[in-house]
């Protein structure tokens, strides 16, 4: 994880909790690393089925630029995140 991304994450966690929770920071960094790795397996012109969860939500940040990607999910937060990037529509 890049230093500026990690620093932004630390500030976000600090703002939400009012204190620094090292365990939470480590968990969030791990979640991002797993999501980034998983995104390498998602290619253009594919259809994928994804569930919900923090790792899947982070996955959206790494797959939103894929071309002609069809995502089926039961997660409102995942669907909203993809729509936010302009990469989806409810259907």
pLDDT in tens, 31-61: 888 888 899 999 999 999 999 998 899 999 9
> Taking the complete model, does pTM exceed 0.75, yes or no?
no
Per the model's pLDDT, the better-predicted residue between 20 and 27 turns out to be 27
**Under 8 Å between Cβ of 73 and 50:** yes
For the cut 70, the answer to whether the pLDDT of residue 22 exceeds it is: no
Whether residue 91 is contained in a domain is answered as: no
For the cut 90, the answer to whether the pLDDT of residue 20 exceeds it is: no
CA 82 – CA 80 distance, rounded (Å): 5
Percent of the chain whose predicted confidence (pLDDT) is above 90 = 26
**Under 8 Å between Cβ of 22 and 45:** no
Domain that holds residue 25: 3-84
- pLDDT at site 5: 74
CA 59 – CA 62 distance, rounded (Å): 5
Whether residue 12 is contained in a domain is answered as: yes
Q: How many separate domains does the chain show?
A: 1
Count H helices and E strands in the chain, helices first. 4, 2
């Amino acid at each position: 994880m890049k230093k500026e991304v990690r620093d932004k994450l630390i500030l976000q966690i600090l703002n939400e909790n009012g204190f620094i929770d090292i365990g939470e920071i480590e968990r969030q960094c791990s979640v991002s690393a797993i999501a980034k790795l998983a995104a390498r397996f998602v290619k253009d012109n594919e259809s994928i089925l994804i569930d919900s969860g923090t790792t899947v939500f982070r996955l959206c940040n790494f797959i939103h630029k894929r071309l002609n990607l069809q995502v089926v999910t039961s997660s409102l937060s995942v669907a909203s995140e993809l729509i936010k990037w302009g990469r989806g529509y409810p259907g």
